[in-house]
Structure 1
Amino acid sequence: MTPSQRAASTPGLDATPGLIALFCILWSSAFAAGKIALWDCPPLLLLTFRFLLAGSILLAGCAAFGRFKRLKRREWAALILAGTLNNALYLGLSFTGLATVSSAFTAVIISANPLLTALVAGPILGERLTPRKMLGLLLGFVGVIIVLRSRLAGGHEALTGTLFVLAALVALTAGTLTYKRFGTKADLFQASGIQCLAGGIVLMPVALATESLSAIHLTPTFIGAFAFLTIAVSIGGYSLWYFILGRSSATEATALHFIMPPLGLFFGWLILGEMVPPLDFLGILPIAAGIWLVTR
């Protein structure tokens, strides 16, 4: 099936509203949980152990319940590449960039994912970028900027950190398109497990070479945050993301990422006590309108 045929046969964003809401909550709450976990663990080691454990649980569950399917070499290669891009490179580069740039600046850059995906999805996947969808994407990005405007005003971001985050944006977009372009007959959890393991294996030598295991402190707070990141986000959130991506166009699915910054601010306030100016929530209006235009 050609990319244009796949795009034509792909239904709209038809995952149930409950699953979409759960995905948005899990994905956006990962920032606050990650910030807590980083108090007691270096970033790359945190990601390595998170991915390896999540992948092992997913694949063990598939084997136990007879859901482990035989895959062709092309499918293995596509899942390993997608896992490297979506897990190791996207999150590895993002966490590295966060050391020298603000989280708000990082969120604004990563929130350009729907725009970049929409621009590239045409030639790669045969998806048509209509004027309505382009307007929705622009509205969503404007909303993100409104939400985070106070965090960008007057800030001076490091060039090196900015380049890391820009590279993370490209990796996330490439991973989304790779998964959508090549597809697989693998069970949803099998596909997620393979991608998690691929990300952990790729990150492991870099993490061990640049970070110290002695910097990990097994406090109750860290264990709780790590468990949430592994089970709720890596297993639950990523599996929901691939479920949604498999039932909609790449442009429609990635439009959901516009809602992550305001939700992330909410969880930062709720869990970490971070202050959120009330005016920030005005940004939710263009975000909601943008998502509606892209996905309706």
Structure 2
Amino acid sequence: MTGAALAAASSHLPETGRSRLIAIGLICSAVLFFALLDTSAKWLSGHMDPVQVVFARYAGSMGLVLMLLNPWSHPGVLRTKRPGLQAIRSLLLLGATALNFVALKYLQLAETVSIMFAGPLLVALVAGPMLGEWPGPRRLAAIGVGFLGVLVITRPGLGGMHPAALLCVFGTVCYSFYALATRRLAAFDPPETTMVYSGLAGTVAMLPLIPFFWTTPQTPFVWLVMLGTGVFGGFGHWLLILAHRLAPATVLAPFIYSQIVWMILLGWFVFGQFPDRWTFAGASIVIASGLYLLYRERVRKVPGEATSARID
């Protein structure tokens, strides 16, 4: 949805309704950029080592972020109250990105994103011991069903998918703990500071490795796609920040699943790949479980559960 269309559609809504509609448009745009990021990374893996692709993603994103957020335009943007947690969070994101990019070399786009959709399930599972948000029996059942969906997609031991799917699973674990660290940091640092540290840490961590994996691109188009990975990643995360300023996460989260549509279309258009019935079935299970968790989050009675900190 374009900015003009959003403005026209929201002009007859109350202020809260307009904000939420704009936020939904932003989150849908963000996941499109993330789909383009993964598509670019998969395409580049045929021209260079995934380590170089990861570096291109972080270096390009860092350049874009510093144009928008820097110590001159935003004084104090590098000031953090939790430097250790910022470092851990950034390294978790780097690990998730690197594992996903390596997996993309061997898996279809729809396969990787379907596995990654299990991230919210894992977050809900470990939020109890880490954040004191204990899931109740119905949420635990939904989490279990969601993980069964991942098994349907990967079919371990049945030869249904490349072993690289395991890398995607590990990447999902990294991303889940990254999401939990992001929630913790929200109480201490503004999102702009967290975003800057994400790109900065990833770029610095990858620099020592680049001389061992660098392959000079042979055409201007390859250079352009490398630059695109940084732009897609950086701009996608910026749109996420803007969206969450306008609407709560429980409103926006269901629209993140629209990324599967873009991944299927881009996988077919760019690589001539179309997911099999197992991927469709498993993805449907994972998405349904995630949506149920969101539903329980929205309808739970917070005052009555405050003493036990249990989320049913």
Common fold, TM-score beyond 0.5? yes
- For residue 54 of structure 1, what is the aligned residue in structure 2? 61
Farther-moved stretch of structure 1 (31-40 vs 184-193): 184-193
Contact preservation (8 Å) 2:103, 2:167: yes
1:154 deviates by 3.2
- Which stretch of structure 1 is more off in the superposition, 257-266 or 277-286? 277-286
Change (3 A) 1:123 1:280: closer
| 1:121 is aligned to 2:158 | no
* One-letter amino acid matched to 1:38: S
Instruction: Find out whether 1:155 has 2:160 as its counterpart.
Output: yes
* Equivalent pairs, count: 273
Cα deviation, residue 198, structure 1: 0.4
Report the 3-state secondary structure (helix = DSSP H, G, I; strand = E; otherwise coil) of the residue aligned with 1:74. Answer: coil
Deviations 1:234-269 (A, max 9, x none): 2122234456678756x9987776654554222201
For 1:8, the equivalent position in structure 2 comes to: none
Q: Does 1:205 align with 2:212?
A: no
Distance 2:182 2:157 in 1: 33
Structure 2: give runs of 5+ residues left out of the alignment.
1-19, 296-312
Counterpart of 2:226 in structure 1: which amino acid?
Answer: F
CA distance in 2, matches of 1:266, 1:46: 22
Counterpart of 2:199 in structure 1 is 196
Kept in 2, the 8 Å contact 1:30–1:229? The answer is: yes
Map residues 25-64 of structure 1 onto 2, 5 A cutoff: 25-63=32-70
- Say if 1:19 and 1:70 are closer, same or farther in 2 by CA, change over 3 A: closer
> Cα 1:98–1:62, aligned 2, differ >3 Å: closer, same or farther?
closer
- Which residue number corresponds to residue 225 of structure 1? 225
- Note the aligned Cα RMSD (angstroms): 3.9
Matched, 1:174 2:188: no
- Secondary structure in 1 aligned to 2:48? coil
Q: 1:195 to 1:149 in 2, by over 3 A?
A: closer
What one-letter code is carried by the residue in structure 2 that aligns with 1:293? Answer: Y
* Residue pair 2:81, 2:189 contacting (<8 A) in 1 also: no
User: Can you give the 5+ residue segments of structure 1 that lack an aligned partner in the other structure?
Assistant: 1-13
- After TM superposition, list the pairs within 5 Å mapping 1:267-286 onto structure 2: 267-276=266-275, 286=285
Amino acid at match of 1:188: P
Letter in 2 for 1:195: S
Equivalent-residue separation in structure 2 for 1:149 and 1:171 (angstroms): 18
Percent of counterpart pairs with the same letter?
Answer: 20
Report the residue type matching 1:155 in the other structure.
G
2:294 alignment partner in structure 1: 295
CA distance in 1, matches of 2:225, 2:178: 26
CA radius of gyration, larger in: 2
Distance 2:159 2:52 in 1: 33
Query: Structure 1 residues 288 and 163, CA, compared in 2 at 3 Å: closer, same or farther?
Result: closer
Q: For each residue in 1:93-131, what CA deviation from the matched residue of structure 2 results, as whole angstroms up to 9, or x when unmatched?
A: 3334556x6447655543432222111112212324244
The answer (yes or no) to whether the contact 1:75–1:182 under 8 Å persists in 2 is: yes
Displacement of 1:195 after TM fit? 0.7
The alpha carbon displacement at 1:204 in A equals 2.0
Compute the displacement of 1:196 (Å): 0.9
Residues in 1 aligned to 2:150 and 2:264: alpha-carbon distance in whole angstroms: 11
The aligned counterpart of 1:183 is 186
Q: Distance in 1 between matches of 2:244 and 2:151?
A: 25
TM-score normalized with structure 2 length: 0.69
Pair 1:235-2:234 in alignment: yes
Q: Is the 8 A contact 1:136 1:292 kept in 2?
A: no
Structure 1 partner of 2:23: 16
Identify if the C-alpha distance between structure 1 residues 182 and 29 changes in structure 2 by more than 3 Å, giving closer, same or farther. Answer: same
Structure 1 residues 259, 18: closer, same or farther in 2, change over 3 A? Answer: closer
Deviation at 1:145, TM superposition (A): 6.2
User: Contact conserved, 2:60 with 2:230, CA < 8 A, in 1?
Assistant: yes
